[in-house]
Amino acid sequence: MSESSSSAQLADTLRNELDRYPQGGKLPSSRALVERFGVSPVTVSRALAELVAEGLVVTRPGAGAFRAATDRPTTTVDTSWQEIALNGEPAPHIADATGITANLAVPPPGVIAFNGGYLHPSLQPEQALGAAVARAARRPGAWQRPPLEGLTPLRAWFAREVGLTPAQVLITAGGQAALATALHALTPPGSPVLVESPTYPGALSIARAAGLRPVPVPMDQDGVRLDLLEDAFAATGARVFYCQPLFHNPTGAILAADRRRRLVDIAHAAGAFVVEDDYARRLGHGLPLPPPLVADDPYGTVVHISSLTKPTSPNLRVGALIARGPVLERLRATQVVDTFFVPRPLQEATLDLVGTPSWQRHLRGLAPSLRDRRDVMLTALHRHGLAVRSPLGGYYLWLRLPDGTDEAAAVATCLRAGVAVSPGRPYFAAEAPEPHLRLSFADTAGPDEINEGVSRLALGVEAAGVS
């Protein structure tokens, strides 16, 4: 085993060799493992720590590492009673995560991930993140309890982006947590909540788990249809409209300029809030972007959600809720009940990251990288006769399949062909009007993988009976 071998590989080797030792038997010393496998002491230490965490090995200071005593009596537990408890009357609000897990699932080895919801590791600012976390962890006071609303300098950073003040910002554990807080705080169970159709499945899952009734409002290529939105407010009495005006997920649409102020006016006239999910603001492909709705809101109607997860790493779960007026205290109370606060070391690391020159360098490099991957995927799809509208930002393409296509069968045949895709059905609050697939070009290693993935996609779609 070479010096470059990972601690995970060494742990796997040691795990397979544990049967050579009796329970309680001593393993070779760290020095012996270093010499045998040609790795560093740090690699050995990490491998042993992994086995200790699994309960397979115990370490004794000054004595070494020993195989753990793992023989325990097994018992059979009858859990059939849970079926009654979980499905009793009145029926509880059920958390259905199927629409989310389809995008979070890591495909098997060899399968190309067109279903991903995050950046490929090659696009993540891993070095800058690592340096920021290391500096933050050593900062005096970094492990003290933070203010419930979040660190003031980080709140100020988010506030500057929308032209508001730190007092109007709550730091959240990413965009999903912010959205859950907003929907829980703004409307009681049993109420309707208006959503774009299609829309982000995570929003639908949160709404349904909270006992809300998602009501779809159709879109066109310029965003939500305002005539239908106004009708939906009047017909349902809804007090919340959830939307993604910039690089909408999954269609990539941008709300047209002439609809922006009118949308806020319609919601205000209905006495309702607009929950603006601005998850993709840092995922533009190089063109100027419109300001967020909250920046031009004269009423305090817009509750704005911002997140740093999408342009960085799925593990940097830091975002913000931005609002004005009494609603902010409602949001704050809901967040405190649900999560207390975002860990201070994570906030400190985020503040460190966005304050360094590497942050702007990362964003400048990310835009052309996403644009290039988008163009490669569009070209490959067109080469196979699959037409898709080109988005100006984000990292999704919304592929319309021919009428009559069995969407579920297409997803399954694509996976058998070696490419994972997201089905379109979970993006609709009601019955889907036509079959779709959502394709991500961001969670890919580059052009070669995209071209190969689209070739597999075409085979899978063809095998599903699509002409």
Which pLDDT tens digits describe the chain residue by residue (467 residues)? 444 347 888 888 888 888 888 888 888 888 888 888 888 888 888 888 888 888 888 888 888 888 888 665 666 777 777 777 777 655 556 667 776 777 677 788 889 999 988 999 999 999 999 999 999 988 888 889 999 999 999 999 999 989 999 999 999 999 999 999 999 999 999 999 999 999 999 999 999 999 999 999 999 999 999 999 999 999 999 999 999 999 999 999 999 999 999 999 999 999 999 999 999 999 999 899 999 999 999 999 999 999 999 999 999 999 999 999 999 999 999 999 988 999 999 999 999 999 999 999 999 999 999 999 999 999 999 999 888 999 999 999 999 988 888 899 999 999 999 999 999 999 999 887 889 999 999 999 999 999 999 999 998 888 877 54
Q: What is the pLDDT of residue 50?
A: 87
Predicted TM-score (pTM) of the model is 0.83
Q: Are 159 and 301 in contact (CB under 8 A)?
A: no
Give the whole-angstrom CA distance, residue 411 versus residue 413: 6
For 219, the token pair is: 């879109």
Q: What is the pLDDT of residue 1?
A: 43
Give the whole-angstrom CA distance, residue 368 versus residue 287: 11
Q: What is the pLDDT of residue 4?
A: 38
For 407, the token pair is: 């969407």
Q: Are 273 and 179 in contact (CB under 8 A)?
A: no
**DSSP category for residue 370:** H
Give the whole-angstrom CA distance, residue 245 versus residue 254: 6
Torsion of CA 39, 40, 43, 45, to 10 degrees: 120
Per-residue H/E/C for 20-72:
HCCCCCECCCHHHHHHHHCCCHHHHHHHHHHHHHCCCEEEECCCEEEECCCCC
* Helices then strands, each counted (H, E), the chain: 16, 15
Give the whole-angstrom CA distance, residue 172 versus residue 148: 10
| Secondary element (H or E) of residue 83 | helix 81-86
pLDDT in tens, 271-326: 999 999 999 999 999 899 999 999 999 999 999 999 999 999 999 999 999 999 99
* Cβ neighbours around 421 below 10 Å, total: 25
* Cβ neighbours around 427 below 10 Å, total: 23
Give the whole-angstrom CA distance, residue 173 versus residue 176: 8
For 180, the token pair is: 């859950």
> Which phi and psi (to 5°) does residue 306 adopt?
-125, 150
Give the whole-angstrom CA distance, residue 98 versus residue 80: 23
Domains annotated for the chain, with CATH where assigned, are 7-67 (1.10.10.10), 98-123+359-463 (3.90.1150.10), 126-354 (3.40.640.10)
Say whether 207 sits in a helix, a strand or coil. helix
